[in-house]
Amino acid sequence: MGEKEGRMIQPLRSRVPFSLLQFLILWCHDIGREQAANRPLLKTIFEVLMRLFSPRKTMLLLVIRDKTKTPVEYLAQALKEDIHKIWDSVPKPEVFKKAALSEFFNVEVTALPSYEENEELFKEQVGKLRHKFIHSIDPGGLAADRRGVIPASGFCISAMHIWKVIRENKDLNLPAHKIMVATVRCEEIADEKLRCFMLDEGWLELEAAVTSGPVRSFGMKLSDIIDFYLLDYDMETMYFDEGVRTVKRQQLQSE
């Protein structure tokens, strides 16, 4: 499966039409990167809402993981600028041709510290975020616009209708369920292996050593470390779709 096909599975992950709150997680070091920062996914969310459903005010909550020393205000500004550019590039029905992003989305950015570096603060911040979700329908809560909300008793019928609309729209090119699952899990596993590599003691020692000059057998030592984590990736993804896991492995190697 190529890069284009890999991106096409992402609409399923967004669960676009069901919620008044779109919740996206991205790693701090991925901000500004085309694929890793969920830009294609955001574009898909906007396109699907505009093309298939009656747009309504939705909260778009961006949660930054492993925040660095960069102030959240700067990160939020960069993300919001990207989101506005994506919005402007999305084809819209004539009636919404000049509509501003703010007419349909409230954008909020929050950040979480690294779990590995500050577990206590991470849990504290997650607790605050959980509280926001629990009280999301309170006045001023995360759920931005409840005028179009369907009672729980009608959710099943509504969900069936929405899924029918999605399936009948051939342009969405929805993949098989196993492809979706494979893509999500292989991405998660690859991200985990990359983080483990960056914290590996052997790699950190090599990285520190090269600052003092050439390191004997540097290439061999580095290859051994990389091969270890690639083998780990292979073991954990061996039962997922071969095409998906191969693409994600190549992306992991290129990192």
170 assigned to some structural domain: no
- The answer on 240 and 119 residing in a single domain is no
Q: Is residue 36 part of a domain?
A: yes
How confident is the model at residue 152, as a pLDDT?
64
User: What is the mean predicted confidence (pLDDT) over 200-210?
Assistant: 86
Residues 245 and 186 sit within 8 Å (Cβ to Cβ) = yes
Q: Is residue 92 part of a domain?
A: yes
- Tens digit of each residue's pLDDT (9 = 90 or more) over 115-161: 888 899 999 999 988 888 777 777 666 665 555 555 565 667 667 77
pLDDT digits (tens, 9 = 90+) for 152-196: 656 676 677 767 766 776 655 555 556 767 888 888 899 999 999
Which of 86, 87, 36 is CA-nearest to residue 65?
A: 36
Which of 131, 165, 199 is where one domain is finished? 165
Backbone torsions φ then ψ of 97, nearest 5 degrees: -55, -40
User: Is residue 171 one of the residues assigned to a domain?
Assistant: no
Is residue 146 domain-shared with residue 206, that is, in the same domain? no
Residue at which a domain ends, from 138, 165, 192: 165
Do 199 and 222 lie in one domain? The reply is yes
**What pLDDT, on the 0 to 100 scale, is given for residue 14?**
38
Are 135 and 195 contained in the same domain? no
* Same structural domain, 192 and 149: no
- The tally of domains found in the chain comes to 2
CA separation for the pair 207, 201 (Å, rounded): 10
In a domain, 240, yes or no: yes
Q: Give residue-wise pLDDT tens across range 109-123.
A: 888 998 888 899 999
Across the chain, the runs of DSSP E, i.e. the strands, are: 21-27, 58-65, 105-111
Residues 73, 141, single domain; the answer is: yes
Q: Residue 100: give the domain boundaries.
A: 3-165
* Domain presence at residue 172: no
Give the pLDDT of residue 33: 67
Asked whether residue 107 is assigned to any structural domain, the reply reads yes
Say yes or no: 37 and 143 in one domain: yes
Read off the pLDDT band of 7 (50, 70, 90).
very low
Are 124 and 182 in a shared domain? no
Give yes or no: residues 134 and 17 share one domain.
yes
Q: Which pLDDT score, from 0 to 100, does residue 5 have?
A: 34
Question: What's the average model confidence in pLDDT over 208-219?
Answer: 80
Residue 29 lies in a domain: yes
User: Where a domain ends, among 165, 186, 203?
Assistant: 165
* Average pLDDT of the chain, as a whole number: 76
- Say which amino acid occupies 99: A
Same domain membership, residue 50 and residue 15:
yes
67 and 191 share a domain?
A: no
- In the prediction, which pLDDT does 20 show? 62
| 12/138 same-domain check | yes
The b-or-e profile of 76-108 (16+ CB within 10 A means b, else e) is beebbebbeebbeebebeeeeeeeebeebbebb
| pLDDT tens digits for range 46-99 | 877 776 665 667 788 888 888 888 888 888 888 888 888 888 888 887 888 888
Rounded mean pLDDT, 242-251: 90
